[in-house]
């Protein structure tokens, strides 16, 4: 198992930088500030870098997506190991539902219709989105399978999901989310 890149107390002093909603109108997952950033494995992976170059899309730090199922998108190299082991399809390839820059998933709604098999990624710029975080059975298989240690499964972090739900507001008009006390 690779060393984990998200520390268990990552959320302790953080506030979300955004969220992605599920089209069921109830569920959503938070996006948290940059963790590994440009030190993440995605920034040194030749296939990921080539995929961004092919698209003519700039590779920028994306932060951590999810709280109890937390995926460091800057360490996600689109290996898809999590997809192949998850028994409840927590993850989807986000681009297979909406082929947009990863920065555009902030405060967007996804229906959960994206593809969920390991090799169904659109290309190596795709990321594993924990769109069904709420369905996770805490089997830990994805955390153990991820080749870059990009996933942290920690049910205790549910308190940070709940706390943020009480304090997070989207700034009117700006499109830039922030959180306050
Ligand atoms: S811990 Fe198990 S159920 Fe939860 S997201 Fe990972 S593989 Fe899926």
**Domains located in the chain, CATH noted:** 18-166 (3.30.70.20)
pTM across the whole model = 0.92
Give pLDDT tens digits for 6-61: 999 899 989 999 999 999 999 999 999 999 999 999 999 999 999 999 999 999 99
Give pLDDT tens digits for 143-163: 999 999 999 999 999 999 999
**89 Cα: distance to centroid of ligand 1 (angstroms):** 8
Beta strand ranges found along the chain (DSSP E): 18-22, 28-32, 64-65, 69-72, 92-93, 109-110, 128-129, 151-153, 168-170, 177-179
pLDDT of residue 1: 82
Judge whether residue 170 has pLDDT over 80.
no
Atom 8 of ligand 1: nearest residue by CA position: 86
Distance between CA 68 and CA 6 in Å, rounded?
A: 12
Pocket test for ligand 1, best of 129, 138, 149, 152 (most atoms within 8 A of CB): 138
**163 Cα: distance to centroid of ligand 1 (angstroms):** 23
Is 141 a pocket residue for ligand 1 (Cβ < 6 Å)?
Answer: yes
């Amino acid at each position: 198992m690779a060393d984990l890149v998200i520390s268990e107390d990552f959320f302790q002093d953080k506030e979300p930088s955004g969220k992605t909603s599920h089209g069921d109108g109830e569920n959503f997952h938070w996006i948290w500030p940059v963790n590994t950033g440009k030190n993440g494995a995605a920034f040194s992976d030749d296939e990921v870098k080539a995929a961004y170059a092919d698209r003519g899309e700039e590779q920028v730090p994306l932060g951590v997506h999810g709280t109890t199922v937390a995926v460091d998108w800057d360490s996600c190299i689109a290996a898809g190991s999590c997809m192949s082991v998850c028994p409840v399809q927590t993850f989807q390839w986000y681009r297979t539902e909406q082929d947009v820059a990863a920065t555009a998933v902030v405060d967007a709604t996804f229906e959960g219709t994206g593809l969920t098999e390991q090799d169904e990624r659109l290309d190596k710029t795709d990321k594993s989105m924990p769109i069904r975080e709420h369905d996770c059975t805490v089997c830990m298989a994805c955390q153990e399978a991820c080749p870059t240690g990009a996933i942290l499964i920690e049910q205790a972090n549910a308190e940070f999901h709940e706390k943020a739900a009480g304090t997070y507001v989207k700034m009117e008009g700006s499109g830039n989310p922030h959180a306050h006390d």
